[in-house]
Amino acid sequence: MDDYQYFIDQVKQKTAIDLSYYKETQMKRRLTSLRDKRGFANFEEYYKAMTQEQELFEEFLQRMTINVSEFFRNPQRWTVLEKKIIPRLLKNQSSIKMWSAACSTGEEPYSLVILLNQFLTYKQIDLLATDLDQSILDRAINGFYPERALKEVENKKLQTYFEKQDLGYSVNDEVKKPIRFGRHNLLHDKFETGFDLIVCRNVMIYFTEDAKDKLYQKFADALKPGGVLFVGSTEQIFNAQRYGLETEDTFFYKKME
């Protein structure tokens, strides 16, 4: 068997992470450079060492996931969310159930709570925030950010929702309360249902077409009728109707009612 394929199979058995759903050229390049850096001649040796040394395994996990994020990433899209999508969703209801899927270090779920707090109290907001990587989630729960992650946050919001620290800002505890952080593998785990809004941005680009196809259907099934899937700014869905979705605005897909 091919050495990389052996690695894929072993990792899948040990962790339920299926690397074959990630675009191969990109993933293999990233992992080969890490493997070489650690001095292993092939993937089999690298995998064996990983099973004995937790640090090597965690380093692998961090390399395979790309965790870049920021508050209100692509601000114009967040303006559409605030001015158009949320007002429609809240027309006949006074609470909201949302999911930030692949939330990385937390900038996205905290941006959602801050935006929704313009409309609702914290108690009326329910937000599931998940990622594959527990160490990333720990950073999200901690809620400390250097200034560069906050460049799109207006001063007034900084003052209301954050506390200044020596080297950056911490999110206030009340902003954390509506969020249920949890580990979740999009390619393996069951989806909760009944969401008004699912935000899944800048992770689908790493997946194969086959994986994307399955995921779009699962997201559509997890939405309430009229609910919205908000995707990243390079992640347009070309045949949204196939999944029972229609374009409400660029990068926002509404589940048909």
203 binds ligand SAM (CB under 6 A): yes
Specify the 3-state DSSP secondary structure of 42. Answer: coil
Type of residue numbered 37:
K
Angle between helices 54-64 and 134-142 (to 10 degrees): 80
Q: Among 32, 124, 170, 185, which residue sits at the site for ligand SAM (rule: CB under 6 A)?
A: 185
User: Could you give the strand order of the β-sheet that contains 162-164, starting from the edge strand earlier in sequence?
Assistant: 144-145, 169-171, 162-164
Stretch that binds ligand SAM, among 138-146, 195-203, 218-226, 237-245 (CB under 6 A): 195-203
Q: Among 97, 176, 201, 254, which residue sits at the site for ligand SAM (rule: CB under 6 A)?
A: 201
72: left (phi over 0), alpha (psi -120 to 50) or beta: left
What is the C-alpha to C-alpha distance for residues 65 and 60, in angstroms, rounded to an integer? 9
65 binds ligand SAM (CB under 6 A): yes
Task: List the interface residues with ligand SAM, window 229-248 (CB under 6 A).
Answer: 232
115 binds ligand SAM (CB under 6 A): no
Q: Name 244's Cβ contacts closer than 8 Å, sequence gap at least 6.
A: 220, 255, 256
Stretch that binds ligand SAM, among 49-57, 79-87, 117-125, 180-188 (CB under 6 A): 180-188
Specify the 3-state DSSP secondary structure of 173. Answer: helix
136 binds ligand SAM (CB under 6 A): yes
| # residues contacting ligand SAM (CB under 6 A) | 22
What is the closest distance, in whole angstroms, from the C-beta atom of residue 137 to ligand SAM in the complex?
9
Q: Name 185's Cβ contacts closer than 8 Å, sequence gap at least 6.
A: 16, 17, 132
111 binds ligand SAM (CB under 6 A): no
132 binds ligand SAM (CB under 6 A): yes
Interface residues toward ligand SAM, by CB under 6 A: 65-69, 73, 102-104, 108, 131-133, 136, 184-187, 201-203, 232
